[in-house]
Structure 1
Amino acid sequence: MATVNLPRVDIDKPRYDQSTYVGRAKHFFSITNPLNIFATDKELRNAKHIVDTYRSGGDVGSITIDELWRAKELYDSAFHPDTGEKMFVIGRMSAQVPMNMTITGLMMTFYKSTPAVVFWQWINQSFNAIVNYTNRSGDSPITNKQLATSYILATGGALSTALGLNSLVKKAPPLIGRWVPFAAVASANCINIPMMRLKEIQEGVAVSDANGNKLGYSRRAALDGIMLVTLSRIGMATPGMVIVPIFMDRLEKKGFLARYPWSTAPIQLALIGLCLTFATPMCCALFSQQAAIHVAMLEPDLREKIRKLPDPPDIVYYNKGL
């Protein structure tokens, strides 16, 4: 059966219901699927051909709706949504789990040595910069100055936190020291995300009614969205960087790590990879992409503008970002 004879679906919207947590989780499990980074160039070109042809109303051959969505999943995993250009592989969403697993695992393995702390925090923030640049908006691109400033401040914040806390917890229980990398990553997120979205903080983010009609720009909505994204990013890191250290601390107390010192990094990498495989999509799904805010919470001028409309809404919506 040719796809053109199947019911048309809007492939520019998520496949799953985004008004429910389960639907959002399914969506993010598909776009963060690490297996997508192994797709060959031929497979990616074929997926792009199917998506482009289907969008234009052409005949893409005898494929099912499931195969169409699989092509869209591959397309989204590798091509920029605004420019259509193929993205650098380690900056893709599908690379988040393997890259973060490796960096976080090594960051937590070598957390005691100052040179190692500096090196791995620098590597982590360099990776974040690559991800931010790769996924930059095509409509409102991140400037090189903004990227550089965010990179320097986030790296400085992470290093200050890690090195400062390491010096304070020398006499604390070993588990406390194992949690220092998490504190550094959390602090870097609190710096990096607002810096990358500084334009939204200054000018506001577009808010719309339930029908998608743009009503204006709100700085308050932008701040709320940035807070939600920061919480979800910290949430992604929490299972691997808070729970895994408890398990490793137990192994250390039982003498397992002393008997098998070579096993520390592999065990942490495996456990963190398992945590991130689930935590990444599940935390991305915590808050709806189209977030809601009460009109009463908006800036006075925008609030009054909306209330003067013929049928003013009580709630408006905005894209919170990722």
Structure 2
Amino acid sequence: MSELVKTLVLRPDISKPKWDQSTFEGRAKHFFAITNPLNLFYGTNQLDDFKKIVDEYRKGTVSNDLTVNQLWKAKHVVDSAFHPSTGEKMLMVGRMSAQVPMNMAITGGMLTFYKSPMAVIFWQWLNQSFNAVVNYTNRSGDGGSVSQLLVSYCSATGGALTAALGLNSLVKKAPPLVGRLVPFVAVCVANAINIPMMRRGELTDGIDILDENGQVIGQSPGVAKSAISQVVVSRVFMATPTFAFIPVVVNALEKRPYFKANPKMFLPLQTILCGLVLSVSTPVGCALFPQLTPVTFDQIEPELAEKLKNLPNPPKQLYCNKGL
């Protein structure tokens, strides 16, 4: 829309996403905008200009020539480059918009160099190091987050290496396709370790439960288990097309005369395929479950449910922010 914001009676509400987050389509559109790798090409001055537009709009100041499209573009770029809580500019490699190009290069390497133990160690270590940078960049800012990152990083790296090296030793005599799928299993194991370890505080103390106004009204360990499980499923879903589909394609191409004569072509081929697949699977995986997930009174602990129902104005609907 090219309408001028200043002329609108009802102006856009940029405190929430542009699209309806109760639908899968709306969530997918939102994450396609946030994870767009083109957001990485904006320089420091451009990012500051976009942030100024958003900050001034929130204060009620609107320039005469600001259009609705420009406002939403600024909002999406700011969301992809600045920390939502601190407002600080995030490390470039840790931004959501860096997920596709970074994972494209790392996954291409893991899929190509999956036989040599030293290569497996390097690429699995690099993958978990990148995940640690992403987790650090998008951390909530609480005091224990850095120590949690270190523990989860070591645990996930150890789990991924154990799975990859152990499975490689078991499938030496198996068909080539089986060996190509080992990196997928290692990544799944790492995700299953990394995410719960990173958020173990929520598993013991509970995830924040919000009312319909976004106010924190309690914590629930039971809901935390459900939220963290959804994140693990989303991460595995993101990885599945690249780690499960591409090996099947490459295994078939490996028998072709051209690739037999030019085996070095597998690295650029798999890297390009990873980029194409990840550009879709990353936002779609993020969109599988609502970011602000509805919670029923039956899902929370009985004592918390009783406490909330006895409030002077009991909430009609509960939510939790499941995380990414």
TM-score past 0.5 threshold: yes
1:255 offset after TM fit, Å? Answer: 4.0
Letter in 2 for 1:67: Q
Q: 1:256 to 1:293 in 2, by over 3 A?
A: farther
TM-score by length of 1: 0.95
CA distance, structure 2, for counterparts of residue 209 and residue 53 of structure 1: 28
Cα shift at 1:296 = 1.8
- 1:303 equivalent in alignment to 2:305: yes
Matched, 1:105 2:101: no
Please list every run of 5 or more consecutive structure 2 residues that lacks an aligned counterpart in the other structure. none
How many angstroms does 1:4 deviate by? 3.2
Residue 309 of structure 1: how far off its partner (Å):
4.7
Please tell me the residue identity of whatever aligns with 2:116: S
CA 1:2 to 1:218, structure 2 compared with 1: closer, same or farther past 3 Å? same
Matched, 1:44 2:42: no
SS in structure 1 at match of 2:130: helix
In the alignment, the residues of structure 1 paired with residue 71 and residue 301 of structure 2 have an alpha-carbon distance, to the nearest angstrom, of: 43
Alignment of 1:205-244 (within 5 A): 205-244=207-246
Could you say which residue in structure 1 is the equivalent of 2:77?
Answer: 74
Aligned counterparts of 2:241 and 2:276: Cα–Cα separation in 1 = 10
Q: Distance in 1 between matches of 2:37 and 2:261?
A: 33
Q: 1:142 to 1:278 in 2, by over 3 A?
A: farther
Counterpart pick for 1:84 among 87, 91, 95:
87
Give the AA of the match of 1:253: K
Q: Secondary structure at the match of 2:86?
A: coil
Equivalent pairs counted in the alignment come to 321
Report the AA paired with residue 320 of structure 2: Y
Give, in angstroms, the shift of residue 10 of structure 1. 1.6
Instruction: Name the counterpart of 1:173.
Output: 175
Opposite residue 105 of structure 1, the aligned amino acid is G
AA aligned to 2:233 is L
* Counterpart residue number, 1:60: 63
Q: Confirm whether residue 132 of structure 1 aligns to residue 135 of structure 2.
A: yes
**Deviation for aligned residue 1:75:** 1.1
Shift of 1:283: 0.9
The AA in structure 2 aligned to 1:277 is S
Task: Measure, in 1, the Cα distance between the counterparts of 2:64 and 2:47.
Answer: 17
Q: Once the 2 structures are TM-superposed, how far is the Cα of residue 206 of structure 1 from its aligned partner?
A: 1.6
Name the aligned partner's letter for residue 221 of structure 1: V
Q: Name the structure 1 match of 2:166.
A: 164
Correspondence for 2:186? 184
TM-superposed CA distance for 1:210, in Å, is 3.7
- What is the Cα deviation at residue 256 of structure 1? 3.7
Moved more, 191-200 or 207-216: 207-216
Gap regions ≥5 residues in structure 1: none
Q: What residue identity is the alignment partner of 1:104? A: T
* Contact residue 177 and residue 248 of structure 2 kept, 8 A: yes
Q: Does 1:18 align with 2:21?
A: yes
Measured after TM superposition, the shift of residue 298 of structure 1 is 2.0
> Which residue does the alignment assign to 1:28?
31
CA distance in 2, matches of 1:118, 1:4: 56
Cα RMSD, aligned residues only: 1.7
Among residues 256, 259, 263, which one is paired with 2:261 in the alignment?
259
Structure 2 contact 212–316 (Cα < 8 Å) conserved: no
Residue equivalent to 2:281: 279
What is the aligned-residue identity percentage? Answer: 55
* Residue number in structure 1 paired with 2:294: 292
1:122 aligns with 2:132: no
